[in-house]
Structure 1
Amino acid sequence: MQTIFISIKCERGKAYEVADELVDLPEVSEVHSTSGQYDLLVKCYLPDGQDIGHFVTERVQTQPDIADTFTTIAFKAFG
């Protein structure tokens, strides 16, 4: 299982709508509202071998009202 975190910048006033759409994706574990440069932080679990780039560009970035994303690949969880 691969763990990735996606920081998402939404169009103004659309963070809640975007979050509601993303929680329905089966790969999405958690969606958090955040302060700062990005509006949402999304934790995803992808099966081993699934292409992260295709998931982000085809399943996440194509959602309405997403202006920008920043993806972080997690190596190991502690505790």
Structure 2
Amino acid sequence: MNTVFIQIRCKPGSTYQVADEIALRENYAELHSTSGDWDLLLKLYIPEGEDTGRFINDYILDIEGIERTHTILTFKAF
């Protein structure tokens, strides 16, 4: 499994609806509300063999209220 972190900026007034929709999908690791330029931080496990970009597009980017995302890929440290 590959781990990615996705920072999510929501349209004004839609953060709770976006978070609720993510929670309903049930295949995320963690979801946090954050301060600063981004509204939510999502930790997501990408199943082995899945294309990361397609998985994120299919899993996240169809949610109404998302304005922009920033994906951080992770790699084995040692």
Paired position in structure 2 for 1:25? 25
TM-score, with normalisation over the residues of structure 1?
Answer: 0.88
TM superposition shift of 1:76 = 3.3
Residue identity (%) = 44
1:53 paired residue number: 53
* 1:72 counterpart SS class: strand
Is contact 1:23-1:30 (8 Å) kept?
no
What's the secondary structure of 2:53's corresponding residue? Answer: helix
Greater Cα shift, 24-33 or 10-19: 24-33
Residue aligning to 1:4:
4
What 5-or-longer segments of structure 2 have no aligned partner?
A: none
Matches of 1:44 and 1:25 in 2, distance apart?
12
Instruction: List structure 1 segments (4+ residues) > 4 angstroms apart after TM superposition.
Output: none
Aligned pairs, how many?
78
Give the distance between the partners of 1:24 and 1:43, measured in 2 at CA: 15
Cα distance in 1 between the residues matched to 2:51 and 2:68: 19
Cα RMSD, aligned residues only: 1.6
> How far 1:27 moved relative to its partner?
2.7
**Separation in 1, partners of 2:64, 2:5:** 19
Deviations 1:13-66, CA, capped at 9 Å, x for gaps? 111110111122243111100011110000001111111101112220110100
Q: Could you tell me which runs of 5 or more consecutive residues in structure 1 were left unpaired when the two chains were aligned.
A: none
